[in-house]
């Protein structure tokens, strides 16, 4: 049994709850669609092209994709996961803990020493 699985068992959080909360937290809403529209118009307009998103007060919209059952299964088996998936799992667990009245969990408490999965190495420019 892995570190993530032990944490879920100790806190009495089911796998279905994690999947449901992740889907709800990452769902795109009206504000996310508005942000996406504003960010794309910023890239098209000449006067705003030189400015950054933070200068214009444009945050990042949510991805719209929660954690999949396959990704949760990999976390339960202590397999390496990408940083974004780990972040989504941490947000879902913290939402479940907040509903229970508990504290918050960090990545180290959930995943321990399990390595982060990285993608293929980028080729150096020749």
CATH number where 21 lies? 1.10.260
Same structural domain, 108 and 71 = yes
Note whether residue 72 is domain-resident. Answer: yes
Q: pLDDT band at residue 126, thresholds of 50, 70 and 90?
A: low
At residue 125 the predicted structure's pLDDT band, cuts being 50, 70 and 90, is low
How many domains is the chain built from? Answer: 2
> Based on the domain organization, do 22 and 79 belong to the same domain?
yes
Torsion of CA 94, 95, 101, 102, to 10 degrees: -10
Question: Do 70 and 106 sit in the same domain of this protein?
Answer: yes
Residue 5 domain-assigned?
Answer: yes
Rounded to whole angstroms, how far apart are CA atoms 73 and 126?
40
> pLDDT per residue over 84-118, tens digit each?
999 999 999 999 999 998 788 888 888 887 778 88
Inter-helix orientation angle 83-100/3-11, to 10°: 20
Q: What is the pLDDT of residues 35-93, one digit of tens each?
A: 999 999 999 998 888 889 998 889 989 889 999 999 999 999 999 999 999 999 999 99
CA distance 44 to 73: 41
Classified as helix, coil or strand, 81 is strand
The domain in which residue 105 lies consists of: 1-27+65-114
- Whether residues 72 and 22 share a domain: the answer is yes
- The helix/strand/coil state of 109 is helix
Please report the DSSP string for 17-75 in residue order.
Answer: HHHHHHHHHH---HHHHHHHHHHHHHHH-TTTTTS-TTTTT--PPP-S----HHHHHHH
The reported pLDDT for the residue numbered 110 is 85
Evaluate whether residue 83 is within a structural domain: yes
User: Domain check: are 1 and 33 in the same one?
Assistant: no
């Amino acid at each position: 049994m892995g570190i993530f699985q032990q944490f879920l068992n100790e806190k009495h959080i089911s796998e279905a709850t994690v999947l449901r909360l992740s889907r709800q937290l990452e769902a795109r809403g009206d504000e996310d669609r508005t942000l996406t529209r504003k960010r794309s118009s910023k890239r098209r307009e000449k006067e705003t092209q030189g400015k950054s998103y933070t200068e214009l007060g444009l945050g990042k919209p949510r991805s719209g994709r929660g954690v999949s059952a396959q990704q949760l299964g990999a976390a339960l088996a202590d397999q390496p996961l990408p940083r974004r998936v780990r972040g989504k799992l941490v947000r879902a667990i913290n939402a479940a803990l907040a509903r229970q009245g508990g504290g918050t969990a960090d990545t180290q408490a959930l995943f321990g020493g399990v390595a982060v999965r990285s993608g293929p190495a980028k080729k150096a420019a020749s």
